[in-house]
Structure 1
Amino acid sequence: MTGGLWAVVTAIPLDPDAEEARRLLREELAKPPYRAAEPSWFDLASKAFFDWLASLFSGADGAGGGWLPLVATVIIVGILVTALLIWGVPRLNRRRTATTALFGEHDGRSAEQMRSAASAAAASADWSLAIAEQFRALAAGLSERTVVAVSPGTTATDFARAAARALPAESAALREAAGAFDEVRYLDHQGSEAGYRAVRALDDRVRQARPALPEPAELHAGSSDGALS
């Protein structure tokens, strides 16, 4: 018994009537120390929530009943959906990683960024660079769409051959574009405006085309016709 309450009790006559005793107790319990000890609205709400949660996992006999499997399933599905939203589908993630490898160890640009670089080079009449950047954009675009999967050692000819399986109508144009890339990238040939515009037109057509292959063709290093780096 606290000191305040004891003082009230000792101050009450030995034989007070019931009404007087109740009045004195109400006055004492209304003081701040007693009010502070009462549970807050948050305490009451928390207790109600946890009581409700516990009721889901216990039936009348104390067993989990049919609620436990249902709640566990909902939690697992929620975790899986959240993971897919954050990290994406695993297969697509592997393709995006390969896209970065297409441009070399330190080049993580997207296909659109490569196209912008090609346009800037063309505006400066640097046709060799414009052709190289436009071909990289073409390859990166197909990799991002998961039409063709590439590895760090993929060559221009390898890529053109795999892309032709998905886009047979562009087989000849793909071979010519790969040859133009190899010439300006590895053989020090001077590119031309016509060569750049041909690769750009091919890229434009490929972006609108519907590939014939339902799954991306896996590529591996092996040809010496010029790596896409």
Structure 2
Amino acid sequence: MALPRTAATAVLALPRGDAPPVTTPRDPAREAAKRELSKRMYHENDPGLLQRALNAFWDWVDKLFSAASAATPGGTLGLVVILLAIGAVVAALWWRLGTPRRTPTSSATLFDDRPKSAAEHRAAAEAHAAQGHWNQAVQERMRAIVRSLEERALLDPRPGRTADEAAAEASRTLPSRADRLRAAARDFDDITYGGRDAHPRVYHRLAELDRDLERTKPVLANSAQSTAHSARQGAAS
């Protein structure tokens, strides 16, 4: 049936956007399946928010690793070799330099304001060692060594003395222990001033030196001069 000319013209003049939307009837079976699968019983074992975040993170790491291996000569094997080499360098530096401190000590003295006996320093060192506080244990053991030498009159009591000065002065009367005394002073300085963390073996080395020094007889200045004079006379004859 032909429309009147005016009606046909009006229909053709309608904009395309005003045309009624085309709809399709919903699939009853699909809607029923969606309603069924939305029930809670089907989602009890779904990963939580944290697990989904971790999965997304590891997916990102995997993509990053794949991109890096593609850009590295030798592919995945070459990337693994490079990472192992970097890890070895970092481990070597960490072992050599020790754990860095956040705030390095700018100044420190061998002894604090309140004087303690060698026995008190040894007791404090053992208490720190028992708790695994090796830095404090090494410091207290070095103080015990120096205080013991002062108590034996092998060193003059002098406030402000450094560990290096104590080792150098003690080496004059204990020449057979000079190397170990200097090593102990270096350990003390590295921990107190250099920001290094002490290892248990460092403390045990100082404790053994402390015990050894107690059994070591000093070489007095007069005895040393007499020995040198006797040696010179023997050489002249």
Superposition TM-score, scaled by structure 2 size: 0.46
Higher relative contact order (CA 8 A, sep 6+): 1
Question: What's the TM-score once normalised by structure 1's chain length?
Answer: 0.48
